[in-house]
Amino acid sequence: ELKVEQNPLFLSMQEGKNYTIYCNYSTTSDRLYWYRQDPGKSLESLFVLLSNGAVKQEGRLMASLDTKARLSTLHITAAVHDLSATYFCAVVPLLGTYKYIFGTGTRLKVLA
């Protein structure tokens, strides 16, 4: 059974600081996705990573994928309050299925 784990589960950080969220998964995959969810809202796609070594950046967020280590990171640079949300990674196993399995989520709170 595919497992997708994120850490930390909760993150409280000061504005202007940098931090990294980690996403580990337990099976072979070359497709990894990051989503953002605001409280009481739906999930919004942030990044799609489709190969080993893929790196995507949008504003203060940068995501990367290491398929050999089965690890993706979401790096936050100079955090601002507007980044407060829950971040999910999702993985699709390599073997011809389209089961998007989501991680546990990381609840980020950026303190002004």
Q: Which is nearer to other proteins, 69 or 98 (CB)?
A: 98
CB under 8 A: which stretch of 17-25, 59-67, 73-81, 102-110 binds other proteins?
A: 102-110
Spatial separation of the C-alpha atoms in residues 52 and 72, rounded to whole Å: 10
Secondary structure (DSSP) of 22-67: EEEESS--S-EEEEEE-TTS-EEEEEEE-STT-EEEETTEEEEEET
Q: Which of 11, 25, 33, 87 binds other proteins (CB under 8 A)?
A: 33
Please give the residue ranges that form the binding site for other proteins (CB under 8 A). Answer: 31, 33, 41-45, 48, 50, 88, 97-105
